[in-house]
């Protein structure tokens, strides 16, 4: 841990100067209390740094939460072992998952399937109670429940240190969460202009607790966070069903962990009720289960929080980018991607070149930096990787 300023505490041993400058600007906002915590995977983001924990007094910065509200991970430990997968080509399993879960940006189901129906009903009731119509933000939200998206979102089948089979995936609130975020980021910017409030970055525009605009955002935000959680649950159910059909047996769950890493919620720290925004960070209270994935082709971790007070009980959400997507495409080759994915069943295409592990921080360094934030329960290595392009 490094104290950069009285308002900025850092756990990242690898920290780009531009990322540090961005975090310093955010931490200097008058309503940040007591300090901003930079996670080991910190890298440049929209307005606020990805991999940061931002506690605010009676305010929320919508762009700090981000446009993929509720994005996070889910993992399930099964009764299966490496012996169940031995001597089998895993290509049919990957392809069956790709058919069961719509992939890529804008993807949607053709209809609301039976497993998704109760989840859609739950979300409709929640929206009605919150007093807003998600159809006004994105009309296809029902059909996108149970879809992956693109970028660094993934579905994986992995093995742990005991060679037990896990299913692991990463996704968020899809198009509807994005539209909710964009709307309220725009509202916050308009309010800053209306009241002549100058900011070091227009994407740090904020909403003040007690105003109609603030509570409208919070109601829709909470709905989107729950949508993201149910989206992961729906996809996981489909993945487990495909895994069971591939092996000809029912999959029995031994453990399920589902956690956000782009969200805000009210928490008490230093005797004060605050809004704690984790932008690319997970909650890690003492004993709390969490998930920290590596990049494509590298290890992932099931962890347990240590309740570190200075981090506001938080931990990193992954490896964190070292190269932008455009820079990665210029720097790395398809052959290098193939080498990095050796021994892992994946869709071999240049579309994933910007997700090559070398475009990210070394997950071993990130986990070493996080040693006083979490303890590792399980270390996972991928055998199947599914992504949307």
How many structural domains compose the chain? 1
205-218 pLDDT tens trace? 999 999 999 999 99
- Whether 71 is in a domain gets the answer yes
Mean residue pLDDT of the chain comes to 96
Mean pLDDT of all residues in 77-98: 97
| The dihedral sign for the CA sequence 294, 99, 352, 224 | negative
113-129 pLDDT tens trace? 999 999 999 999 999 99
- pLDDT for 346 equals 96
CATH code for the domain of 196 = 3.90.1860.10
pTM: 0.97
- Whether 11 is in a domain gets the answer no
- Whether 149 is in a domain gets the answer yes
- Whether 327 is in a domain gets the answer no
Parent domain of 147: 2-6+24-311+338-386
23-59 pLDDT tens trace? 999 999 999 999 999 999 999 998 899 999 999 999 9
Catalytic positions are 317
- Judge whether residue 219 has pLDDT over 90: yes
Cis peptide before 34 (omega within 30 of 0): yes
Largest Cα–Cα separation, the chain: 67
Where b means 16+ CB within 10 Å and e means fewer, 22-55 reads: bbbbbbebebbbbbbbbbbbbbbbbbbbbbbbbb
259-272 pLDDT tens trace? 999 999 999 999 99
Q: What does the alpha-carbon distance between residue 251 and residue 247 come to, in Å, rounded to a whole number?
A: 9
284-331 pLDDT tens trace? 999 999 999 998 999 999 999 999 999 999 999 999 889 999 999 999
Residue with tokens 């996070």: 72
344-358 pLDDT tens trace? 999 999 999 999 999
- Whether 326 is in a domain gets the answer no
Q: In this structure, what are the phi and psi dihedrals at residue 348, rounded to the nearest 5 degrees?
A: -80, 95
């Amino acid at each position: 841990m490094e104290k950069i300023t009285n308002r900025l505490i850092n756990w990242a041993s690898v920290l780009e100067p531009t990322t540090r400058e961005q975090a310093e600007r955010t931490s200097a906002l008058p309503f940040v209390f007591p300090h901003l915590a930079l996670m080991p995977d910190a890298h440049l983001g929209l307005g606020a740094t990805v991999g940061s924990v931002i506690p605010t007094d009676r305010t929320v910065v919508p762009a700090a939460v981000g446009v993929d509200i509720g994005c996070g991970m889910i993992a399930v430990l099964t009764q299966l072992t490496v012996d169940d997968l031995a001597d089998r080509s895993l290509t049919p399993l990957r392809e069956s998952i790709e058919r069961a879960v719509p992939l890529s940006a804008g993807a949607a189901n053709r209809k609301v399937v039976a497993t998704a129906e109760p989840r859609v009903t739950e979300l409709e009731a929640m929206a009605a109670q919150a007093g807003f119509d998600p159809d006004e933000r994105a009309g296809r939200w029902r059909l996108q429940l149970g879809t992956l998206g693109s970028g660094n979102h993934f579905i994986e089948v992995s093995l742990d240190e005991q060679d037990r089979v896990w299913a692991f995936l990463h996704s968020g609130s899809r198009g509807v969460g994005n539209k909710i975020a964009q709307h309220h980021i725009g509202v916050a910017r308009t309010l800053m202009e209306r009241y002549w409030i100058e900011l070091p970055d227009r994407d740090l525009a904020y909403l003040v607790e007690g105003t109609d605009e603030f509570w409208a955002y919070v109601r829709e935000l909470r709905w989107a966070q729950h949508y993201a959680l149910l989206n992961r649950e729906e996809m996981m159910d489909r993945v487990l069903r495909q895994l069971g059909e591939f092996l000809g047996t029912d999959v029995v769950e031994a453990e399920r962990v589902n956690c956000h890493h782009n969200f805000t919620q009210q928490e008490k720290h230093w005797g004060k009720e605050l809004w704690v925004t984790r932008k690319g960070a997970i909650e890690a209270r003492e004993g709390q289960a969490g998930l920290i994935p590596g990049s494509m082709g590298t290890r992932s971790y099931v962890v347990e929080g240590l309740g570190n007070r200075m981090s506001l009980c938080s931990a990193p959400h992954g490896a964190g980018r070292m190269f932008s997507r455009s820079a990665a495409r210029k720097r790395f080759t398809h052959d290098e991607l193939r080498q990095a994915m050796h021994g892992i069943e994946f869709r071999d295409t240049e579309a994933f070149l910007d997700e090559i592990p070398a475009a990210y921080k070394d997950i071993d360094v990130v986990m070493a930096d996080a040693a006083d934030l979490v303890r590792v329960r399980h270390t996972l290595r991928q055998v199947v990787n599914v992504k949307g392009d």
